[in-house]
Chain A
Amino acid sequence: MDLRRTIKYESDRVKGFGREVMSVPGCEQLENCIQCGTCSGLCPLSIYMDHTPRQVMELTRSDFKDEVLRSTTIWLCASCYACTVECPKQIRITDIMYELKQRAIHEGFYPKRFPIPVLAQEFYRMSHKRGRVTENFLATIMFLKTNLLAALGMWRLGLNLFARGRFPLKLEGIKRRDELVRMMAVVDKLSIDALQNSQQNGGNGGGHPGAH
């Protein structure tokens, strides 16, 4: 058997990581987590996660950035919001998962050829470029980029879809693409952290994000 030391040292923490996440509008309530496990109890995918949602909450709060951003949990979240609506402390867990996904993608914290972030980014690119998404193209690209074998395994599904007219051969797109490009340019102009700050102030100024 291969043995692994599991102890954590203070130096393993990225101090301030938890605070940072909790300062994002919608994520504040994390402060109140009592580790009751309702989220994991409800999550249909928790059974496949390396850390249950509850653990991710605590790891985040305790600044174990690496564990959190490397965990499969954030990618397995299918955003069904079951945890969010049931959390007794009204922590918006799904939104926190989004926040963590974003950070993982921006900081490159995921295994090579790991399909989900690839899909997310390809989706992002395609919708960004064309204004609309054509799923079968998207899926194809994703498989090519991650796992050719799987792509081959999928040819059957492709054919079946094609046979039923559910596999369009032309890419969808919008007429005024330039419009979208200009809009996105505005967002890019604002540097991420400037946005972060304004988000925080805005979040605090703008009523009570936790309020549903």
Chain B
Amino acid sequence: MDKVNGNHEARIGFYVCHCGHNIAAMVDCTEVAKYVGQLPGVVLSRDYKYMCSDPGQELIQKDIKEFDLNRVVVASCSPLLHEHTFRSAVEAGGLNPFFFHMVNIREHVSWVHTNRDEATAKAKALARAAIRRVAHHRALDVKKVPIHPDVLVVGGGIAGIHAALTLAKAGKKVYLVEREPSIGGHMAKFDKTFPTLDCAACILTPKMSEVGAHENITLWSYSEVVKMDGYVGNYTVTVKRRPRYINEDLCTGCQECIANCVYREPKFPDDFNEGLGKRKPVYIPFPQATPQVVLIDPEVCLNFKRGVLTDKCKKTCVEACGEKKAIDFQQKEEFQEIKVGTIIVATGFQAFDVARMPQYGYGRYPNVYTALEVERLVNASGPTAGDVLLRDGRHPKSIGIIHCVGSRDKKTNRWCSRVCCMYSMKLAHLLKEHTEAEIYNFYIDIRAPGKGYEEFYDKLLEEGVHFIRGRVGEVTDWAFIPEEEGKLVIRVEDTLANVVRRIPVDMVVLSTGLEPQPDAQAVRRLFNMSCGSEGFFLERHPKLAPVNTFTDGIYLAGCCQSPKDIPDSVAQAGAAAAEAMVLIDKGHIEQEPNTAYVLDDCSGCKSCIPLCPYTAITFNEGTKKADINEALCKGCGTCVGSCPSGSIVQNLFEDEEVFSEIQGVLAND
């Protein structure tokens, strides 16, 4: 039926959307409709308040039938937002969905211009181009790609853990890949969580062990994704598994080896405790680590020399391990290849490096701490078993907590890290509890916009914690008056009391901001994502697609997308899991049929073959022409753009279509 194939001259219906005032305020929509109405091929031309609304879509369907339309053009917002909506409407109206073209006169016109005449002229030109283009459109079928049901979750922090569990509980098979020896991420290091003050370990470790135990989850810790190929529904991922020199299947986590290591005492800085504690060469990061498997650090283990196996050690650990034979000094790194349909990236953040702000004295004055260090210091299972003992062996009588270190600062990171206010208040509360010290918070603005957050702020005010509105200039150790001697002095303007103050304290806590992981750029390339200007991964749409990326089947969760607190990370992780399940349960995804094909007049010059990044083009010895494998083609059109004989065609972007668009935008009216 020609309505679907449209093999007769075009009968075009044109619709321009006011989008409330968003477009109408800067573009004279009635004028545009009037102008387009008199263009050749246009059967009817309307302007309407909200085209994307149900009535708007029904209007299109009605008109198609009533006026026997065979082409439709809508001028409204960005196709990335509503192209799908209108294609469906056109299809519902009985036309092939690709007899439709969309003109972006909101993001690209009304929102970015200031002169109504110019904006209207531009809108007309773009509409004119679309009218000319759409006449050349052909009927196309959407290609259905099957979705592999397994999911890869990258990163085992709270976001990754929650996403993995959600999927696993829904019966999906999940690979959870974590770079560190144990999952848990930053949350595992926290003592309590704001504003409820429930202990981080108590709420996190059950989820961790559930991950370790769940039959649907394959947990690969101490591992990294190094390669990703394929496309939505059919990704092939290579994971590098670093050697822990322990056979994970044989190790029972009894930790006898640790007890019997030739090093009687722990000697090496322990990363989990931010270097405040010590560990042995064979160790388990922390008591509740998941998996419950030890590992050996070849950099310091006596059986190695700077990572190279020497076998010079008495190996008392091996004896201790005995029959289990779990220790394997020969272990090498291995690469495992897996097939998944969807991927959730939850690679988290890194804390701001305070060395970049020397004026706060970190590293110069022993009693200056980072927030993460304090989390460990107040933690019952931390290096001091919860006793807040300063590096110089004293207990603090007064403590200054400096907010916004490495946030809201053009010289470091411009953004607000969103959690510092709250965790600073949490630490203030905990430190008060542990030390009964005088506590000063130095803040620029208090940002407590979450559920129960403002109430927490009130609670601290009641506890008598001091809040001084002023960004600290410097932390020094020189005394101006005797009471300051032997103390750290914070000089700050109390901007509310309107005085400059010098406040001597025993301990300074730097509330460091959140920034992208150092390797965020590499990860972004690995998964074919984009980064925002700050370096966090970019979501597909800030409001409507906050967990999607520009690559189908790849989703974001947690702080790798932007700083957020635990509730938000968990919520986002759930959303990402749901998005993944949408594809999995549907079983297939409809793909834009913008693939390319070769015409008969191909001269067989082969120049296109090396250009295709997906090796979709092969030379057919029989026909002496190029062949394009539609399944492999991703529709970039590079081969089309460079075919000397113009005998490759890209659906939806055929030469006539683009040429008529060019002529359209330039034609004089």
Contact = CB atoms under 8 A, between A and B. Distances in A.
Partners in one complex: yes
Nearest to B359: A86
B495 A89 contact: no
Interface string B488-510: 00011111001010000000000
A102 interface: no
Interface in A25-59: 34-43, 46-47, 52, 54-55
Given A47-B500, A52-B493, A37 B471 contact: yes
6 contacts: A37-B470, A40-B493, A41-B493, A52-B493, A86-B473, A88-B410
Contacts of A43: 500
A52 B495 CA distance: 9
A88 B471 contact: yes
Contacts of A36: 408, 444, 470-471, 495
Nearest to A88: B409
Contacts of B495: 35-37, 40, 54
A146 interface: no
Among B410, B471, B494, which residue has the most Cβ atoms of chain A within 10 A? Answer: B471
B271 interface: no
B474 interface: yes
B417 to A, nearest CB: 13
A43 B502 CA distance: 12
Given A41-B470, A88-B410, A52 B444 contact: no
Given A46-B500, A54-B495, A86-B359, A41 B473 contact: yes
A36 B500 CA distance: 12
A34 B408 contact: yes
A21 B495 CA distance: 23
B411 interface: yes
A189 to B, nearest CB: 38
A42 B474 contact: yes
A82 B444 CA distance: 19
B472 interface: yes
B359 A46 contact: no
Given A35-B495, A52-B493, A40 B500 contact: yes
A127 interface: no
Interface in B401-431: 408-411
Given A34-B445, A47-B500, 15 more contacts: A34-B408, A34-B444, A35-B495, A37-B469, A37-B492, A37-B493, A37-B495, A38-B473, A40-B500, A41-B470, A41-B493, A52-B493, A55-B498, A86-B359, A89-B410
Interface string B246-257: 000000000000
A41 B492 CA distance: 4
Contacts of B411: 88, 90
B605 to A, nearest CB: 49
Nearest to B495: A37
Contacts of B469: 37
- What is the size category of the interface that chain B forms with chain A? 20 to 34
B500 A41 contact: yes
Contacts of A82: 473
Contacts of A37: 469-471, 492-495
Contact of A38 (B410, B445, B471, B498): B471
B626 to A, nearest CB: 51
B472 A88 contact: no
Contacts of A55: 498
B512 to A, nearest CB: 15
A36 B470 CA distance: 5
Nearest to B469: A37
B408 A90 contact: no
Interface in A72-104: 82, 86, 88-90
B534 to A, nearest CB: 15
Nearest to A86: B473
Nearest to B443: A36
A90 B409 CA distance: 8
Nearest to A53: B493
A41 B498 CA distance: 11
A82 B329 CA distance: 56
Nearest to B491: A41
A43 B500 CA distance: 9
A52 B498 contact: yes
The 8 closest A-B pairs by CB, nearest first: A41-B473, A42-B473, A37-B493, A40-B493, A36-B471, A88-B409, A37-B470, A37-B495
Nearest to A29: B410
Contacts of A39: 473, 493
Contacts of A42: 473-474, 491
B359 to A, nearest CB: 7
A86 B359 CA distance: 9
A95 to B, nearest CB: 16
B500 to A, nearest CB: 5
B366 to A, nearest CB: 23
B657 to A, nearest CB: 42
B472 A41 contact: yes
A41 B402 CA distance: 13
Given A46-B493, A46-B500, A54-B493, A41 B471 contact: yes
Contacts of B472: 38, 41
B412 to A, nearest CB: 8
A200 to B, nearest CB: 21
Contacts of B408: 34, 36, 88
A89 B414 CA distance: 9
B409 to A, nearest CB: 4
A92 to B, nearest CB: 12
B664 to A, nearest CB: 37
A52 B500 contact: yes
A139 B270 CA distance: 62
Interface in B216-272: none
A90 B414 CA distance: 11
Interface in A146-198: none
Q: Which of B408, B409, B469 has the most CB of A within 10 A?
A: B409
Contacts of B494: 37
Contact of B410 (A35, A41, A46, A90): A90
B503 to A, nearest CB: 11
Contacts of B491: 41-42
Interface string B350-362: 0000000001000
